[in-house]
Structures are given as C-alpha cells and as structure tokens.
Structure 1
Amino acid sequence: MQVEVLDAAEADRRRLAHEQRVDRLVAPHLARRGQGVKHPVHDFLFTYYSHRPAQLRRWHPGVGHGIDAAGGAAAYRSWKGYDEVAPGVVGVTAAHVATQRPLLEALRRLLRATAGRAPHLGCFGMHEWAMVHGLTPEEVRHADWPLRLGAAGTDAVVEGHRIACSHFDAFRFFTPTARPLNHLSPTADDRAELEQPGCLHAGMDLYKHAFRLSPMICSELVADCFELARDIRELDMRAAPYDLRELGYEPVRVETAEGKATYAAAQRRFAERGAPLRARLIASCEELLVVARDPASA
C-alpha cells in the first residue's frame, strides 16, 4: 500500500489544529458533565452516539498516510488498526481495512442510496412529537422541560398531521399510540430503501458513519460531520414540542404554517450542507474498498 509519510511539522500542525477545534466544540458538554448538569439538546450527541469526546479529539490522518518516529509514531503503534506500514513508519494497515469490508460495503450502499434521492421536506419534525404522544408529562424523555402546548395539545398536533417518518432510529422511539399513525414502517433492514437527505436524522447520522470509519478516514472529516450534527440537533429540538426558551432556543412552531415554512427551509439548507460530506464519505468507502478487496497489492 502506497503511504505518504507526514513530516513531524505537518503531523503536529494537523494534530494540534484538530485537538483545539474539538476542545472548543466539546468544552461546554464536559463542563456540564463535571457538574452533573443535563442538557436536552446537546447531550444527545454524546449519549445516543457512542463516540466519546476523547475519541473525537484523537487525530487520525487516515489510510495512505503514515507517521514516522519524529512525528510521534510510537503513540500510534498501540492503537487499533495501526502497525508499521513502511520501515519506521506507522499507519492504518491494509489488513485492518480488509476486516472492515462488510461495514464499508453496507455504508457505501446506504450513503449512495440516500444521496440518489431528492430531499423530502414534508415531515415538519413530527417525529419528536410522536415520541411523546399519549404520555403524561412525567413520562416524556425530557421530563424536566415542559411541553409548549401541554400533553393534550401535543397529542392533538400529532393526530392532526400526516406523520411520514422514514428514519428507523427515530421511528423506533415513537410511542405505541403514535406508531400506527406513521404512513411508513421503517425497519433496521430497509434503511437503504427509505433514507433521504432531507431527514434531519439522516444528516446527523453522517457523524455516526464517519466515526465508524475511524481510524481509516481523517479525523478532520469526522469533526466536519460532528459540527453538522450539532447544528442539526439544535433545529431538531427547537421544532420539538418542548419549551426550551430558558436555554436560549426559540421554538420553531411547526404546528403553524409559518413554522412549517421555517422548518422546511432549514431542512433544505442542512441537506445542502450534508451533500458534500456524504459525497466525501462515499468516496472514502470506495477508496477503502479497493484496499479491502486486495490488501496485499493495494
């Protein structure tokens, strides 16, 4: 496998820039965690997604790039996926990439299928409302925060809208009374048949796909996807039925025509932001599959 060796100055520059960027992004979460303070918006990025802040902070140059002794190779040698890829040079090995072939093929299929569809902008964030339908205020996930319209008003919004959630990992949290109201029945096995780029959760999941490809892809791409997920999550919860104004989140009132228009416009912008990231992930899968199919000659 051809390897570009990063000199010490370049490796240090990229590592430091990545660490500083991630530190800025995760510092508020770490401070709250240290104080035992929950956050209904941003905790999701560290609880629902399994990538810890320390893992996000760790810099990887990606397959095809090596680090020599002067660049800190010794620190990488013990990390999963790394070994000597040239005399005195450590990087992610072709053998490791070969073990990830099923993941690479599955992600390429999903990402290609999603990218090939036009964004659907008619869901209006009803998935978050369907997750509290029929529940008492004490039973909802973010019970510390009031529902803007109360329990009865929230239920009425769900029942008065066409619910069309295509994302399984949102649909699976619908309450038992809301599940039959969804016009689709997504499962874990048909993601590639239903995912579409206008879905906020499909955009946030670009972060999940990226960190699952670590350390085979560069950490800068993972951080790019994390920033997108962070921004999408704020819209997701501003459009949710909770009243989060105390935290500075003005609601997007998707139960109104004006709120629907605001939500759909933001969806479109996020779909446009996500498209190049999805394309970069697809390209990474393609390149890695070349290595995975024939690691000896890559």
Structure 2
Amino acid sequence: MDAFDRRDLAWFIDKLVQVLVFIGGISAIVFIIGIFIFITMEGFGFLLDTLDFREFFMSPWWEPTDEDEPSFGILALIAGTASVTGLAMLVAIPFSLGAAIYIGEFATGKKRESLKVLVELLAAIPSVVWGFIGLSIMNPLIIELFDVPVGLNVLNAGVILGLMAAPIMTSIAEDALKAVPDRYREAAEAMGATRWQVIFKVVLSAAKNGLLGAVLLGVGRGFGETMAVLMATGHAINIPGSVFDSVRALTATIAAELGETAVGSDHYQALFTIGIFLFVITFVINLTADLIVRGIRNK
C-alpha cells in the first residue's frame, strides 16, 4: 500500500469516526423525543376527549376501574410523590453536602479517590435492591421504633430514596466545590480565616449555583424513581397527614396498573397522561439543574 492509499484510508477512518460520534451524540436527544412522542400519542385521546383538568389535578379520588363512575384524580398521587421526595431531600442534602465537603476539602490522595469510587458504587446499586431493604429491614425497624402498625410509609420511602439520591448529589456537589478557584481559599486564609470559615463563608457561597443544581438533580431522581418507592410506601391512595401514613406515587401507579389495563381504554390512556405529566416535570427539573451546573462550570 503506497502513501496515497494510506492517506485515503486514514481520511475514511477519520470521517467514519466523526459520523459515529455524531450519531452517538444525538442518539440521546432522538430517544427522548421519540419517548415523548410515543407517550403523547398513547394519551392523546384521553387529553382531548375525557380529561377534566380540574378533576385530574384537584381530585384525590383515583378510581379508574369503577364501572359506574370512574374517577381520574391524581391529587393524592401528587401529594404522595411530593411528600416522599421532600423527605428524601431532607435526608439526602445533609449527607451529600457533608460527604462532598469532606471529599473535596479534607480528603487527599488515595483516601479521596477511594471515597469517590465508593460513592459511584452506591449510585450503581439497583433500585429494586433499595426497595427490598425498605421492605425487609426498614419496615420492621420503623414498626418497632415508633410503635406504628405499618412501616411501609412516607418515612420508609423518604429515607430509602434519600440514600439513593445522595450519591449523584454528592458527585455534582463535589464538582461544584472543586470548581471554586484556589485563589479564593488562599485569599481568605491570608486574611486570617480558619478552615471552616473558608468553607462556609467562601467556598459554599461561591459554589451555591452548582450545589443548587445538585439538589435539583436529586429532586428529579426522586420524582422519577419507581421500584423502590413502590415497595416502600405501602402503595395506598392517601393524602399524607404525617410521615407514618402510607401513600402512592405517580410512577408506582403506572408500574402497578399499566399491565392490567385494556389497551386503548380510558384507564390506559390516563396512565400515559400521568406519564406525560411526569415527563414534563422531570424534564424541567433536570434541564434547570443542567443549566445551573453548566453555568457554574463555565465560570
């Protein structure tokens, strides 16, 4: 093979790699658009003909299988999802922020690398395993500690979901802390600030946009989680009055009922309408978080 043929082969390989990288780069966007079109088409008939927005969002009665007068209210499902996600953030934010501060500001060398690997391993645990922990460990523990009849409730699901969301929040928060220029720390120390004063007064303040992005990503994870929430909440349609009440989440409702509904029925289309609502909420949350994180990285 002469030099000319080798140049042609190198040019061809370079163009092939460019095409493959381009396809890989846009595939996620194509898949997201395709998923949104699919769920919209499946729920389109319900949106146009059956949906009563006031009943759908303001009624707590979800009874789609009632033969006489089916009801499609998701207020209780929204309340259940929001309560579990809110409690999960109360659990996850202190853990993830504390871990990010220790890894980014105190740990060094092999200790830092080992902790980062452990955090990534926690994020890789399947959600069904977390759900099994909530079902078999947290359930009897809550019953014994708080003397309640059922341990599958908001508290159980909130703790489990908080532990699930903490690893990704820790990673994003640690990146935000690392993005703070060292000159900020050096200037504060030169003025006599202690280590903790530097962290709380300077580093956290400078990284607040990235930390907010981490929290929003955690909220998005909470809204989109299915199996762990299905197994740990008790799956009862209820507007919670305390953390010991059983609830049902939007995602868990879709997972539990979709396989038993007749294709094309109002119930079937209502579940896809819930999917559209979830898609829009999680998309907005994750897009906001991504824009915030990109902003802090660009700075």
TM-score, structure 2 as length reference:
0.31
Q: Which has the higher strand share?
A: 1
Q: Which has the higher helix share?
A: 2
TM-score, structure 1 as length reference:
0.31
Q: Which has the larger radius of gyration?
A: 2
